[in-house]
Chain A
Amino acid sequence: MKLGLVVDLDTCVGCNACAVACKQWNTSGTTGPLTDLEPYGKDPTGVWFNRIRNYELGDYPDNKTVHFPMSCMHCEDAACVTVCPTGASYKREEDGIVLVDQDKCMGCNLCAWACPYGARELDPEEGVMKKCTLCVDRIYDEALPEDERQPACVMTCPAHARFFGDFDDPNSEVSRLSRERGGEHLMPELGYKPVNTYLPPRNKPNIPTYKNETNPIEKVKDWVNRLVAR
């Protein structure tokens, strides 16, 4: 299995629901807590597995705003795993999820430097690296209803811009969407074979304008009353 996410940039409005749902689930999750420092003070910071970046393309008035959620790509050839000196970072053979064994991590930060996607965050309080687990503590939990065995970010997304599934299965929703909508990997040229894909914005629909065959109305008298029963 090759589990991962599809993010639809055509419908993402940058609302941060996915980011906060992730924070909420995972702070009590398998690698929790997700420490926050100065939560009520100057420059509050904390550990987040998913952050929304915002970009503008083009110059006014031909500009476009793109909201771009970023989390671990669960790369097939993950640099973060390769560089880990303690073996704490690993990619699970059975489903491809990249995880950090919290007991083996010494917080050296090498993996964060190696990751080109900025997907790993050091918990300064605990001294260990944390990252997206694809909610491994949800997706296999049989105590949850089957339709809730999904990452928290996917369940919550109000614009349904996030999908989860197995890229090894050509019939899965994520495979189908990536195929049909031209899903793209982020920075594939780096060679880490990221699993997650992004669906580019769709083309604008082309709506024809109403073609009027008659002369334009100039004054009220140009209209002739029609017999319409009330």
Chain B
Amino acid sequence: MTQKLHDNERIKIQSNFLRGNLVEGINDTTTGSFHPDEVQLVKFHGLYQQDNRDRRAERKQQKLEPLYSFLLRARLPGGVVTPEQWLEIDRIAEELTDAGSIRITTRQTFQYHGIFKRNLKSVFQELKFKANIDSIFTAGDVNRNTICTSNPEQSELHTEVYELSKKLSEHFLPKSNAYAEIWLDGEKVLDTEEEEPIYHNVFLPRKFKIAVALPPYNDVDIHGNDLNFIAIIEDNKITGYNVVVGAGLGMTHGDKTTFPRLGDDFGFIPVDKVMEVAEAVVTTQRDLGGRVSRSHARTKYTLETHGIETFKQEVEKRAGITFASPGAYEFTERGDRIGWVKGIDNKWHLTVFIENGRILDFDGKPLKSGLVKIAKVHQGTFRMTANQNLVIASIPESEKDNIEKLARECGLIDDGTSAQRLDSMACVSLPTCPLAMAEAERYLPGLTDDVEGLLAKHNIPKEHIILRITGCPNGCGRAMLAEIGLVGKAPGRYNLHLGGNRIGTRIPKMYAENIDEETIVNTLDELIGRWAIERNQDEDFGDFVIRAGIISEVVVAARDFYA
């Protein structure tokens, strides 16, 4: 029996390699939106059509369409930009976006929020021609922005994984000229033979995420990615990678056939086989992945449906390799090391905490103009991290004091930031994200205050718990790898998950459903109170709640998550 393919499949196939009627849509000045088909297509060009949901109801009364704008996510493999690029990124945010902010995201890149349709082409062109940055395939059913560990200390190894992430990113770019044609006024390539060797005209069934991790750091959160290359290091050299496939955190409320899932380690491959294996995984997912239901289309469900072994063998066949036994590695940390570290090349690296990743001039914390001042004198690079923070990297000894002074002046260095706040993260959610069910970014600072208060109340003020909020079960805030994970359900209401671990290798299970903010705080008050008294030596909160029987452990997600 063949089931009807999801309508997005039609849109992709009919789009003439992602062109659709985008040009007409851009030229239609009577609306700030695109037609529904093009709303899907713009994602492949790095855009999400959104509207200001705070103003939706009033604008209906005002006989005005929703206040549409676009999110643009840059393609920035490894998250590295030069100071010159930073200054352009900053200027474009200022001049051409309504939010005026640079938002660092969990995909180790930045997003602009609030670009009106009439300004889209200018943003694309300014980014490309002034900053040499594009946004190709940062959303949509393709390989998204490739991320890698932002390890500041081991500079040589970082360079290697960074170069790999760039190479992977470029390998999975489209061959079609549509992006340049539509946004950059590039020439129309009149090649009717145009084809996509990796994606074909169907592209992938769903989004696809690749990460390169450099243990002992799991800042890329491997279990949020479809495909991970975990560097195996011997004698300070990367000998090859373990290939972890099929992780993903999204689910659908009320649908127990959807669940967050950890990846499966297929085994070790040598350095020179990475590209073949990556392409084999992508094309296997292209051919085996489900295209009927988008909530069951990611690689993790392909593994569940076809079996892990089948998938693995297909990859081996396509790549012409055999996976060796997994190499040994250990993750010890997931967060960023906020503050100064000295790299092995004797350069200094300053990692600064950016709450919610949002770079903007706040009252008393002019982060955005502060970073401009730094970019004007900085000689190294900026590296965005997958935890939504920023590394001001490769600072010579002579410049260290000056950078520190500038960073303190604008609040980028704030000694008052608690360990708890550093461990707290949220996606954007309301008012712009169309999927949002509850607040996330706007709720996080207050909730963090509350949790800080609870830790202090129970006499453990220096303790910290990985706390994440995601505004919908799609999961951009990666709450499904947190010790305390909140998933938006309705305005002011969340599902509370407990039992993830510090290094991000365990999925938390739902403890309470659809509870309000007051109940969240009351629940945490009780649990943190018990943890403070009953915990073992150095026992993290996520481990404690499982040992104490407060929540059961999710070992195999497909089996345990709803059990």
Asked if chains A and B come from one complex, the reply is no
Residues of B within 8 A of A (CB): none
